[in-house]
């Protein structure tokens, strides 16, 4: 899918009919507004947002920093392709249990953060991109995992698990596999782990499932996730500060790496290294530094601006726009850009894909929302209960949380057309209070506390409440 000039009919756009199929792969509007957007800085009021209202979002983060719940953060908000807030607060590095008074420089606005589970939507996007590209003959997301790794089929149920099942958290895989750390063959241990339940029966969030998803993509793509994502996502979207293993792949940017925590396992403070110990173990022990196997659940590092580019492309329904913004105008009949993904694939990724397999009632905790609520492909969908996106998004919004204290909320409702990126150096929550309650549902109190500590709901609510009526 090479570079193209996106052409549309100005009469169709002005009439609200959108672009023709040949231009955008869909008959309706190509973006959540009337035209694909390129990210540009602007004053909030230019897109009918209140500067004072947005200030409430940064005040919430300042309160969290003052209270010692986080040490620093970067917040970016964009509406209609206009970046109306991009602010760095506090210090670059998070809490260091071994050296609590460790000096830290101010948080850079282009800080490179450990995304943890915010890696998952990129893994899904790569799978969809590989399916659409035509460069990987025979690859389809409805292929079985066992067709790539026969050892996976340890039971009839496992033999029928598909890539799509992994992508929407209904594969039957447990949240994780035991015995991976230090195993003689880590991937064999994960591939042969027994299912926890019958596939396609219910939603259960699974890091194991996404580790296997990434492994399948590496096998089908003939390259590491780093190489595949760089070719098919990062380079096309101009995401120059996004990478796995940044200490290896982006060493010149090391001063921008944001620290997360002291690792007692590794005996050092972590900056530019994935905090999750299983993912780090897999990275270090299943390949070479340049071509080692990576995991599809965690491991990416990025900046707020790079993530906003990804989010804006999704709001553009798969179109990435470049060049001077003045060139992207319906009255000029053309918009310089590249279709990265078909509109239909973007919609499948970002709308409910689990039917009634998710939790039948609103989530009562953030962990419950994460583990059991309805999913898109890699995304958590709007939940009227406990949801990090807060109480004031539209019902078509979707989000992804990173366990080390990061959040992305995207709202494609034309009345909102929002990207919210919140990145903090909170670090991974403890697993001390992870268990099963009397209803046989998993709980994770420390995850709930992390969402509260980074002020996820408060920030999203403040952004949404800053929207002004359009005259």
pLDDT of residue 291: 59
Q: Provide mean pLDDT across the span 227-249.
A: 97
pLDDT of residue 36: 81
Per-residue pLDDT reduced to its tens digit, 243-277: 999 999 999 999 999 999 999 999 999 999 999 99
Q: 401 lies in a domain?
A: yes
Do 364 and 439 fall within a single domain? yes
State which H helix or E strand residue 190 sits in.
Answer: helix 186-191
Query: Pairing between strand 40-41 and 82-90?
Result: parallel
Do 46 and 137 fall within a single domain? no
Do 315 and 433 fall within a single domain? yes
Per-residue pLDDT reduced to its tens digit, 170-214: 999 999 999 999 899 999 999 999 999 999 999 999 999 999 999
379 - beta bridge partners?
none
User: Per-residue confidence at 80, pLDDT binned at 50, 70, 90?
Assistant: very high
Do 214 and 283 fall within a single domain? yes
Q: Which residue, chain included where needed, has tokens 């996820």? A: 456
Q: 470 lies in a domain?
A: no
Do 296 and 338 fall within a single domain? no
Do 342 and 235 fall within a single domain? no
Do 268 and 317 fall within a single domain? no
Domains: count for the chain: 2
pLDDT of residue 1: 37
Residue 421 or residue 24, greater confidence: 421
Do 371 and 423 fall within a single domain? yes
Of the three residues 302, 317, 333, the one that is the final residue of a domain is 302
Of the three residues 270, 287, 302, the one that is the final residue of a domain is 302
Q: 471 lies in a domain?
A: no
Do 146 and 293 fall within a single domain? yes
Question: 172 lies in which domain range?
Answer: 116-302
Residues 6+ apart with CB under 8 A from 103: none
Q: Can you tell me whether residue 72 is helix, strand or coil?
A: strand
pLDDT of residue 152: 98
Per-residue pLDDT reduced to its tens digit, 284-343: 998 765 556 899 999 999 999 999 999 999 999 999 988 766 566 655 556 778 899 999
Q: 378 lies in a domain?
A: yes
**Orientation of helix 207-221 relative to helix 120-133, angle to 10°:** 30
Of 104, 379, 128, 122, which Cα lies nearest the Cα of 229?
Answer: 122
Do 432 and 392 fall within a single domain? yes
- DSSP letter for 46, please: G
State which H helix or E strand residue 346 sits in.
Answer: helix 343-349
Per-residue pLDDT reduced to its tens digit, 362-410: 999 999 999 999 999 999 999 999 999 999 999 999 999 999 999 999 9
Torsion of CA 39, 121, 286, 277, to 10 degrees: 90
pLDDT of residue 57: 98
Do 338 and 395 fall within a single domain? yes
49 - beta bridge partners?
467
Q: What's the token pair of residue 111?
A: 């800080």
Of the three residues 261, 283, 302, the one that is the final residue of a domain is 302
Do 57 and 203 fall within a single domain? no
Distance between CA atoms of 456 and 274, rounded to whole angstroms? Answer: 22
Q: Can you tell me whether residue 192 is helix, strand or coil?
A: coil
Distance between CA atoms of 131 and 344, rounded to whole angstroms? Answer: 13
Residue 40 has pLDDT above 50, yes or no: yes
CA 319 to chain centre: 18
Of 187, 403, 418, which Cα lies nearest the Cα of 285?
Answer: 187
What CATH number is attached to the domain comprising 261?
3.40.710.10
pLDDT of residue 5: 40
Q: Provide mean pLDDT across the span 1-23.
A: 32
- DSSP letter for 106, please: B
Contacts 24+ apart (CB under 8 A), 220-224: 220/130, 220/136, 220/139, 220/148, 221/130, 221/136, 224/287, 224/291, 224/292, 224/293, 224/294
* 376 close to 349: Cβ distance less than 8 angstroms: yes
What CATH number is attached to the domain comprising 59?
3.40.710
- DSSP letter for 39, please: -
């Amino acid at each position: 899918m090479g570079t193209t000039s996106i052409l549309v009919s100005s009469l169709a756009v002005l009439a609200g009919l959108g672009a023709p199929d040949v231009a955008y792969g869909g008959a309706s509007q190509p973006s959540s507004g009337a035209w694909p957007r390129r990210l540009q800085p602007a004053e909030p009021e230019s897109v009918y947002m209140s500067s004072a209202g947005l200030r409430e979002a940064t005040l919430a983060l300042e309160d969290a920093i003052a209270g010692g719940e986080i040490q620093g953060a970067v917040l970016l908000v964009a509406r209609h392709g206009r970046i109306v807030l991009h602010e760095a607060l506090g210090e670059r590095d998070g809490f260091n249990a071994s050296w609590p008074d460790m000096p830290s420089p101010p948080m850079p606005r282009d800080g490179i953060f450990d995304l943890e589970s915010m890696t998952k939507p990129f893994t899904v996007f790569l799978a969809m991109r590989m399916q659409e590209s035509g460069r990987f003959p025979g690859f389809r997301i409805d292929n079985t995992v066992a067709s790539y790794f026969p050892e996976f089929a340890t039971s009839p149920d496992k033999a029928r698990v598909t890539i799509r099942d992994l992508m929407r958290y209904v594969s039957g895989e447990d949240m994780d596999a035991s015995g991976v750390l230090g195993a003689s063959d880590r991937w064999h241990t994960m591939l042969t782990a027994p299912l926890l339940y019958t596939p396609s029966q219910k939603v259960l969030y699974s890091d194991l499932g996404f580790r296997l998803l990434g492994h399948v993509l590496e096998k089908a793509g003939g390259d590491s996730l780093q190489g595949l994502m760089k070719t098919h996502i990062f380079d096309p979207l101009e995401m120059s500060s996004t990478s796995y293993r940044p200490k290896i792949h982006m060493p010149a940017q090391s001063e921008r790496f944001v620290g997360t925590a002291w690792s007692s396992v590794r005996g050092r403070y972590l900056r530019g290294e994935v905090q999750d110990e299983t993912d780090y173990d897999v990275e270090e022990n299943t390949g070479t530094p340049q071509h080692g196997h990576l995991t599809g659940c965690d491991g990416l590092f990025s900046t707020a601006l790079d993530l906003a580019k990804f989010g804006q492309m999704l709001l553009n329904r798969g179109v990435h726009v470049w060049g001077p913004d003045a060139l992207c105008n319906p009255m000029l009949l053309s918009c310089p850009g590249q279709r990265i993904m078909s509109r239909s694939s973007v919609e499948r990724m970002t709308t409910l894909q689990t039917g009634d397999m998710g939790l039948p009632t609103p989530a009562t905790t953030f962990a419950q929302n994460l583990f059991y609520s309805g999913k898109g492909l890699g995304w958590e969908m709007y939940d009227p209960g406990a949801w990090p996106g807060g109480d004031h998004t539209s019902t078509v919004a979707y989000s992804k949380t990173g366990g080390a204290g990061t959040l992305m909320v995207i709202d494609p409702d034309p009345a909102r057309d929002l990207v919210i990126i919140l990145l903090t150096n909170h670090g991974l929550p403890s697993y001390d209070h992870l268990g099963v309650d009397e209803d046989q549902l998993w709980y994770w109190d420390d995850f709930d506390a992390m969402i509260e500590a980074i002020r996820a709901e408060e920030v999203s609510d403040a952004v949404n409440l800053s929207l002004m009526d359009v005259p």
